[in-house]
Structure 1
């Protein structure tokens, strides 16, 4: 079956001062469009909160009862009409502005379907990216990308983009270390599904040891954020002593952002290296399907977030797919109680118990290894 396969390539841009000014102006205009569209939706919801036979003591939003709920399509039509009278919006690509409204629509869908919070207004500098959903033919030539309206922008092409793909969209991102472009490349190819094969490997994640595998591999957890906390505290203290809005305040804030970006890059790089190490000489990888949100809200939430288990599982799944290794998440319930040798439940273990001893078959091993995850598929 032929299906569309997408990959995203990220490169650092080398924009001129004029192009940087254009990027910053576009981000600010996109932020205003986002906030205006959010305010329109918020007013409509607030107008439906009041009772029919009574009014609030503070204020009421007077909107006609037959006014439909603002949606992505209706707000796009209103944006098209308003853009004709706004010189500031006319400087921006129309599709890039529509993607801002699509982002807002996704925020409301996430609120309804995934119990996320109500979308918030974005303050100045909070809008970090804008999207071009459509590019011209051959948009990359000699380490330069052609963006609509803006034109050719140079970038560091750290790796070649495979031939045969079509660049579908480009996202320009503003980070503390500079401007980046994320190019989404699509191929119409037939991708065979990876089937279970070879040696199985079960993985358990933790805080003392980042991973413990069924082949007795223990990897200590690097404390990326904890090690940087002392320097972060010093930088944040310097920010608090600067006058808000001054140039020195912005410079101090940028140093804090650079440190956060450095910690995130170190964590991501280590996750990718350890994922490739795991995929060596195995055909199947099994991990526990944990409630990571609940763990992050517990007493050890800071350490759980510093470990980045969710990001690690995503990177591991991608690495397994690239290297032809079968990947699957399994139910985490009773993985420490069921014996991996005979399959008999041995009863509940306390957190301090680190050894599994089966009273049925006499099998003994470290409970953190949880070999049943892999053995059950052997």
Structure 2
């Protein structure tokens, strides 16, 4: 059992868009009210018992418990009966807003994050629909509580018999989208190493360098749009905040950001489809993506999207039945792929790997990819050996693939 997430673009009417925007505004007010209650409880206990704060004091009972999700939900039910604006919104969705705040507090304590801030107008862009029922999807329409039936672009089929566990409505600069979470009970078999192995080395100059000598230049998504983005942001700063001209200028900035993000997602998918067509095994080096994003070239590393590339690569290999594995990235550029001896330490400007042990000379990126390939083949050979040992012990026929076959295909 695993969760399958599908995304579709909605085609709401003007009335439905008004309901969406009003719902988000009410969720924001409920979120800020619940957060203020928690902040007041914490601020009351900041100073000592025998002293007072210089700025302000909170008239709250000292024995009052910490506001939790359950207590705030009970208070919300009572307050909702006296507020006509909250009566227009589904009560379950308002409780989901309190649950969202509760989870954020848990993440603050466990991950040492900062204290939460109040949401300004337009900051909340999504809400969850937890209770949908069995008649949620009918043809090319979705049935949402309070909102009713809403059309959508069915870009892919929805699995038959799958029950929608949760729907998340998201507002973006290009329109409204819905993300469905479906629990799918299917058995997923482990991909067995087979076919032609290929290793990929990622760099900033040559984004992809394979062990077969294929070079692909990096597409500078954000750098190419940076000049236009600067111009659009200047237009935003020259307008008065809140007026229609300011909103239109800000909308153009958001559209450009979403266009760059979509290009960064689309280009690796086309590239990886080409690589996985002729490969049965794909190895990549396990880079520290967070560390690279905080280094001197962090802006270019974030523009390249190494972490997103790894996620898309794993998903593409899973769909095509290609074996995918990450290997250790330590000193891949400082080792000779021919004799596996460590060469003389090279600077970033040196693009040729020359070994003083065996006089093997090749491109630095290709050499790193070949080292990744050999490390991956060694790990795969050990895995196949352990699989055969377990199969023999349990009386299961072993697979015909051998790690020696991979080594021959590599050469």
TM-score normalised by length of structure 1: 0.91
The equivalences for 1:7-86 within 5 A come to 7-61=4-58, 63-86=60-83
CA–CA distance in structure 1, aligned partners of residues 137 and 250 of structure 2: 34
CA–CA distance in structure 1, aligned partners of residues 300 and 178 of structure 2: 31
Pick aligned residue for 1:280 from 273, 277, 282: 277
Pick aligned residue for 2:167 from 163, 170, 177: 170
- Counterpart of 2:362 in 1: which secondary structure? strand
Pick aligned residue for 2:361 from 343, 361, 364: 364
How far did residue 60 of structure 1 move?
A: 4.3
TM-align CA RMSD? 2.3
Which runs of 5 or more structure 2 residues have no equivalent in the other structure? 378-411
CA–CA distance in structure 2, aligned partners of residues 71 and 238 of structure 1: 44
On the 8 A contact 2:283/2:376 being kept in 1, the answer is: no
Of the structure 1 ranges 86-95 and 146-155, higher mean CA displacement relative to structure 2 is found in 86-95
**1:154: which partner in 2?**
151
Classify 1:47/1:219 alpha carbon distance in 2 versus 1 (closer, same or farther; 3 Å): farther
**1:373: which partner in 2?**
372
Pick aligned residue for 2:131 from 130, 134, 142: 134
Of the structure 1 ranges 364-373 and 245-254, higher mean CA displacement relative to structure 2 is found in 364-373
Classify 1:115/1:317 alpha carbon distance in 2 versus 1 (closer, same or farther; 3 Å): farther
How far did residue 347 of structure 1 move?
A: 5.2
Question: Normalized per residue, which structure has more helix?
Answer: 2
| 1:97-145 residue CA offsets vs partner (Å, 9 max, x unmatched) | 2322232233333333444443322110111111112212131222110
**1:95: which partner in 2?**
92
CA–CA distance in structure 2, aligned partners of residues 199 and 377 of structure 1: 13
**2:118: which partner in 1?**
121
How far did residue 84 of structure 1 move?
A: 3.4
- Note if 1:298 corresponds to 2:307: no
How far did residue 66 of structure 1 move?
A: 4.2
**2:262: which partner in 1?**
265
CA–CA distance in structure 2, aligned partners of residues 193 and 82 of structure 1: 53
Q: In terms of Rg, which structure is larger?
A: 2
Of the structure 1 ranges 329-338 and 313-322, higher mean CA displacement relative to structure 2 is found in 329-338
- Counterpart of 2:184 in 1: which secondary structure? strand
Which runs of 5 or more structure 1 residues have no equivalent in the other structure? none
How far did residue 368 of structure 1 move?
A: 2.0
On the 8 A contact 2:329/2:372 being kept in 1, the answer is: no
On the 8 A contact 1:200/1:377 being kept in 2, the answer is: no
CA–CA distance in structure 1, aligned partners of residues 375 and 22 of structure 2: 57
The equivalences for 1:304-319 within 5 A come to 304-319=301-316
CA–CA distance in structure 2, aligned partners of residues 64 and 325 of structure 1: 62
How far did residue 26 of structure 1 move?
A: 0.5
How far did residue 45 of structure 1 move?
A: 3.0
CA–CA distance in structure 1, aligned partners of residues 210 and 116 of structure 2: 40
CA–CA distance in structure 2, aligned partners of residues 244 and 255 of structure 1: 15
Of the structure 1 ranges 9-18 and 80-89, higher mean CA displacement relative to structure 2 is found in 80-89
How far did residue 216 of structure 1 move?
A: 1.6
CA–CA distance in structure 2, aligned partners of residues 205 and 114 of structure 1: 30
CA–CA distance in structure 1, aligned partners of residues 106 and 285 of structure 2: 28
Classify 1:249/1:95 alpha carbon distance in 2 versus 1 (closer, same or farther; 3 Å): same
CA–CA distance in structure 2, aligned partners of residues 253 and 57 of structure 1: 40
Pick aligned residue for 1:144 from 141, 147, 150: 141
Classify 1:280/1:42 alpha carbon distance in 2 versus 1 (closer, same or farther; 3 Å): farther
On the 8 A contact 1:200/1:375 being kept in 2, the answer is: no
CA–CA distance in structure 2, aligned partners of residues 338 and 45 of structure 1: 56
How far did residue 52 of structure 1 move?
A: 4.1
Of the structure 1 ranges 218-227 and 21-30, higher mean CA displacement relative to structure 2 is found in 218-227
Pick aligned residue for 2:253 from 248, 256, 259: 256
| 1:42-75 residue CA offsets vs partner (Å, 9 max, x unmatched) | 3333333323444333334455454433333443
Give the total of aligned pairs.
Answer: 375
The equivalences for 1:229-248 within 5 A come to 229-248=226-245
Of the structure 1 ranges 51-60 and 184-193, higher mean CA displacement relative to structure 2 is found in 51-60
TM-score normalised by length of structure 2: 0.84
Classify 1:38/1:215 alpha carbon distance in 2 versus 1 (closer, same or farther; 3 Å): farther
